[in-house]
């Protein structure tokens, strides 16, 4: 097999894996149904490109009919290449909308230098995307968070928030008006990075959170990579654990009614424990 054919084979295998895992997540969590209009949030990063690629393929192959519309929030970051996404989406034949909102200036003005920008930036983007979803009549909002994002959120909450929760694959917004889905919840970040490189997606770097090197999320990400390198399979094991929770084996009294737990058998008298030929057995309990 020539080097070119071998490379094409590997890329095709990678694409199949990403699409299969996205399809499994969509099915497992009922993310997309007949007639849904799915608003795909496209940032210009490798994850959102991989998300759009998988959804376009699944839309064309799935017996379930659904629409896609890509939306990019132009946050007015300096040097943002305005034609990259419109040209790319036009070449795909995917309908799109570019939303201009200067959240960059707000974040830079409000957040002190060196402090984490993600929280405010995320809230501003979320508000804008929810508004656009209403305008477009979108029944689903698809985000490009992947398996490693889910696990990083889990450990961030565990280590810094004292809560046992991750990033949900499917979420109803607080006002109940929007369903947010994450079809890449089972997909590894390294697969998305390799696929983006192979497909030469026109990546647009982020000048806000993407420029901060000391974020705790990045620290957690490095921890996960080291674990996987030293103990292959550990990441998949942790992900499986999030799908197989035993509430009675945790300590959350809101999640499991420990006070109502009763034995089905009646307490026995101590004499009932005496074995034939061992009269001293009961005495041991009474001393």
Within a domain: residue 167? yes
CATH number at residue 96: 3.40.50.620
pLDDT tens-digit profile of 74-112?
A: 877 777 788 899 999 999 999 999 988 776 666 666 665
Q: What is the 3-state secondary structure (H, E, C) of 208-270?
A: CHHHCCCCHHHHHHHHHHHHHHHCCCHHHHHHHHHCCCCHHHCCCCCCCCCCCCCCCCCCCCH
Within a domain: residue 122? yes
pLDDT tens-digit profile of 198-229?
A: 999 999 886 555 444 457 888 999 999 999 99
Confidence (pLDDT) at 284: 52
CA distance 275 to 161: 53
Q: Total structural domains in the chain?
A: 1
Question: 55 with 183: CB under 8 angstroms?
Answer: yes
Beta strands in 52-94 (DSSP E): 67-74
Q: pTM value?
A: 0.83
Distance linking the first and last C-alpha atoms of the chain: 81
CA distance 285 to 287: 6
Within a domain: residue 213? yes
Residue 138, CA distances (Å) to 68, 141, 186, 279 in order: 9, 7, 24, 77
With 0-12 CB in 10 A as exposed, 13-18 as middle and 19+ as buried, what is 120? middle
Within a domain: residue 280? no
Within a domain: residue 266? no
Confidence (pLDDT) at 191: 97
Q: Measured over all CA atoms, what is the biggest interatomic distance in the chain, rounded to whole angstroms? A: 91
Within a domain: residue 111? yes
- In the block, tokens 């005495």 appear at 283
CA distance 189 to 149: 8
pLDDT tens-digit profile of 222-251?
A: 999 999 999 999 999 999 999 999 999 999
pLDDT tens-digit profile of 250-277?
A: 999 999 999 998 887 766 665 655 555 5
Confidence (pLDDT) at 211: 46
Confidence (pLDDT) at 121: 61
The residue segments making up the domain with residue 137 are 3-249
Confidence (pLDDT) at 13: 95
Confidence (pLDDT) at 262: 86
Within a domain: residue 287? no
Provide the Cα torsion 239, 51, 227, 10; round to 10°.
110
Within a domain: residue 264? no
Confidence (pLDDT) at 215: 74
Report angle CA 112, 116, 117 to the nearest 5 degrees. Answer: 80
pLDDT tens-digit profile of 135-190?
A: 999 999 999 999 999 999 999 999 989 999 999 999 998 888 899 999 999 999 99
């Amino acid at each position: 097999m020539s080097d070119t054919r071998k490379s094409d084979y590997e890329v095709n295998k990678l694409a199949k894996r990403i699409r299969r895992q996205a399809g499994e997540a969509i099915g497992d969590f009922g993310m997309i149904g007949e007639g849904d209009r799915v608003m795909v949030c496209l940032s210009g990063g490798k994850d959102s490109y991989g998300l759009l690629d998988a959804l376009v393929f699944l839309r064309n192959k799935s017996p379930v009919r659904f629409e896609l519309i890509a939306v990019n929030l132009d946050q007015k970051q300096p040097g943002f290449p305005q034609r990259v996404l419109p040209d790319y989406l036009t070449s795909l034949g995917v309908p799109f909308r570019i939303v201009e909102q200067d959240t960059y200036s707000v974040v830079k003005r409000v957040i002190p230098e060196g402090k984490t920008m993600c929280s405010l930036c995320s809230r501003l983007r979320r508000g804008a995307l929810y508004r656009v979803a209403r305008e477009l009549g979108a029944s689903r909002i698809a985000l490009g968070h992947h398996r490693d994002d889910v696990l990083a959120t889990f450990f961030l909450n565990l280590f810094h928030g004292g809560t046992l929760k991750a990033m949900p694959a499917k979420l109803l917004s607080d006002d109940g008006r929007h369903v947010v889905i994450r079809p890449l919840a089972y997909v590894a970040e390294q697969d998305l990075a390799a696929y983006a490189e192979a497909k030469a997606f026109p990546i647009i770097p982020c000048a806000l959170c993407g420029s901060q090197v000391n974020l705790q999320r990045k620290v957690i990400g490095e921890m996960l990579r080291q674990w996987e390198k030293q103990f292959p399979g550990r990441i998949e094991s942790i992900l499986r654990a999030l799908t197989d929770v035993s509430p009675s084996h945790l300590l959350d009294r809101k999640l499991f009614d420990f006070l109502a737990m009763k034995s089905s058998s009646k307490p026995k008298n101590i004499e009932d424990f005496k074995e034939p030929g061992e009269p001293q057995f009961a005495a041991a309990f009474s001393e």
